[in-house]
Structure 1
């Protein structure tokens, strides 16, 4: 084996030198390692850059409702205070804004928004459970004096609940809910027609079962009886339809909305979505692009922190119910609260106490019989699909 004498330079090239040391790498090997390291660095930077691009796009999708935040600050002194640290109350408002592309098919664009779906979502501290309480659109309530977007002032009045959103927007709706329940609304989220359809499509549709066929021109819905998967337009028609399904009551529509949302939650929670980036990104893109939120939830990080806190809640602990109500004494087409059941529910939510529900007529879930005996609230859970 040729060996270079110490201190003597014979002009030998490094490539001709061999040694038994494993730490010595030929020049060609070193060049290959440098190329490999450079390639890995470029790959890492590319992945990071792509990830940042996705993050920025999703983050930029979310619209911030600063007007509502400004309006609520004017009335801070009259708003209720939070009773339990780390518990959260989020008001979800389904807007039927008809001004967007493709939305005028649902009715004439009057320049205002209405809401057939309003849900108060209570998240227990430490992520123990989630309770979603539907507020009927026709519930007769005291609506406080509110400012309209035009700047005009509305006098306080006793009217049906969805009047607050149509004429006073989200701020008026939040103040009405807080006045009704005594519960502090920490955040609000507004979802429009288009966003709902995109979200359903992004998860691959939601399965329902129909006892009879449906033909509803107003809801743009035509379905056959039996088990089927609904996508965007059909899903929207299904949750909006009223007179063509069941007995035509808003009660049945609310129950149908709750069941549909329960199945949608289960679909999103499934590993097939959450653990598959190809499926997860369309879901996130659809969800964020459909949302208008308060400044406290208007970033991807804020929403992620919220989802992270509830993603491990067992499905049987995600409950949907409706405020206890009955036909209004002076108009059977309107609703009024059933007392003391309603006040008991509001107190349980304020104090972050467990809420049990009975199985509603249209629900397919099975509850603990003891819970049925002691609970005045009807609803369902997200533990099972509609068609189980």
Structure 2
């Protein structure tokens, strides 16, 4: 009888262990399923955030030639491959990217940050980012928005095209023809092919800075701009997203009050952001990484070559050898416009020599 009791106890204990193991297995399986579902949802959400414009189709072949690109040699850094495919080399050729900061006032967040009319938009900030072959150096060229240019005829989404405009302000291209006209105008004045287009609006920029935990910027003079609502003493400051955006928009009360003074502040801000990103270990902080990715993709418009999370990640991976201190910021050489002292025109031959160096 004692033996029977022992056998019964062992059977009950084995049954309990089996039940516990099954419950643990089900819990683990459920956790894995939820984790995979959450990761899938996050990817879908970030990917669906991105808006795009098919610039290549809109502009056709009447454009400057593409730069010759070369893949990285076999065995160097490459994107992760699926088990059924061999590693694909990351692109390493030179690239020119038009980056616009849009002062769109659409949506409550942009209106709160930008003020003004809720209709229309302009390219408040325009930079041509040139990546050298090898992706180890970069040059960022700012184009003053007050530059007078010949704005070419641009195709419209609704059909037809805009008229050629002589002596038009550079930032009017975006107003009349959106991203397509902005790209075509830049290519017409530089004779440099824009391989990609990236646009971020007010709220996206502010969210990005906040997601990174702020940005540290040093100003050389006191700032008191009633339009951007920014007051800073000369010195080093830790800025949140709203303050950083105000700094990017500040032009009054610094220098001569022109757009050139604002460009100087924007270039400081770009370098400070690059340094902040380089110093932040996002991979070790998944929540912060998601917040940064959500801030970027949520207010991003790209060309169709960068309009998916996979393409953006691959592009970012190709830049991992580019340190912040190898980025040079310059402004397109300009002089006061003869027709309007409040406007500028390209200074030649210096401007053409600068663009030539980026081809």
Task: Determine whether 1:108 maps to 2:124.
Answer: no
Alpha-carbon separation, structure 1, partners of 2:118 and 2:36? 45
2:95 maps to 1:88:
yes
Q: Match of 2:143?
A: 135
Q: Secondary structure at the match of 1:118?
A: strand
8 A contact 1:80–1:182 mirrored in 2: yes
Q: Does 1:75 align with 2:59?
A: yes
Q: CA deviation at 1:99?
A: 2.6
State the match for 1:284 in structure 2. Answer: 293
Q: How many angstroms does 1:31 deviate by?
A: 5.5
**What SS does the corresponding residue of 1:126 show, helix, strand or coil?**
coil
Tell me, yes or no, if the aligned pair for 1:112 and 1:167 is still in contact at 8 Å: no
- Within a 5 Å distance, the mapping from 1:205-220 to structure 2 comes to 205-220=214-229
CA contact (8 A) 1:93 1:190 kept: yes
> Shift in Å at residue 87 of structure 1?
2.4
Q: Which residue does the alignment assign to 2:277?
A: 268
Report the CA distance between 1:27 and its aligned residue.
Answer: 6.7
Offset of 1:278 from its aligned partner?
A: 2.2
Match of 1:294 in 2: 303
Given that 2:154 and 2:161 are in contact with CA atoms closer than 8 Å, whether structure 1 keeps it comes out as yes
Indicate how the Cα distance of structure 1 residues 317 and 258 shifts in structure 2: closer, same or farther if over 3 A, else same: same
> How far apart, CA to CA, are the structure 1 residues paired with 2:222 and 2:353?
39
The answer to whether the 8 Å contact 1:94/1:192 transfers is yes
CA distance, structure 2, for counterparts of residue 210 and residue 89 of structure 1: 29
Cα displacement (A) at 1:234 = 1.7
Q: Secondary structure at the match of 2:61?
A: helix
Q: Which moved more, 1:127-136 or 1:102-111?
A: 102-111
CA shift in 2, pair 1:107/1:144, >3 Å: same
Larger radius of gyration: 1
- Residues 182, 201 of structure 1: CA spacing in aligned structure 2 closer, same or farther, 3 A cutoff? same
> 1:92 & 1:104 partners in 2: Cα distance?
21
2:132 is the alignment partner of 1:124 = yes
Does the aligned pair in 1 maintain the 2:334–2:345 contact within 8 Å?
Answer: yes
Root-mean-square deviation (CA, aligned residues, Å) is 2.8
Structure 2 equivalent of residue 233 of structure 1: 242
For residues 223 and 24 of structure 2, the distance between their equivalents in structure 1, rounded to whole angstroms, comes to 62
Instruction: Tell me what 1:323 maps to.
Output: 332
C-alpha distance 43-150 of structure 1, shift in aligned 2 (>3 A): closer
Structure 2's unaligned 5+ residue stretches are 70-92
Query: Does the 8 A contact of 1:267 with 1:273 survive in 2?
Result: no
Cα displacement (A) at 1:124: 2.5
Normalising by structure 1, we get a TM-score of: 0.77
Cα shift at 1:291? 0.5
- 140-149 or 128-137, which deviates more: 140-149
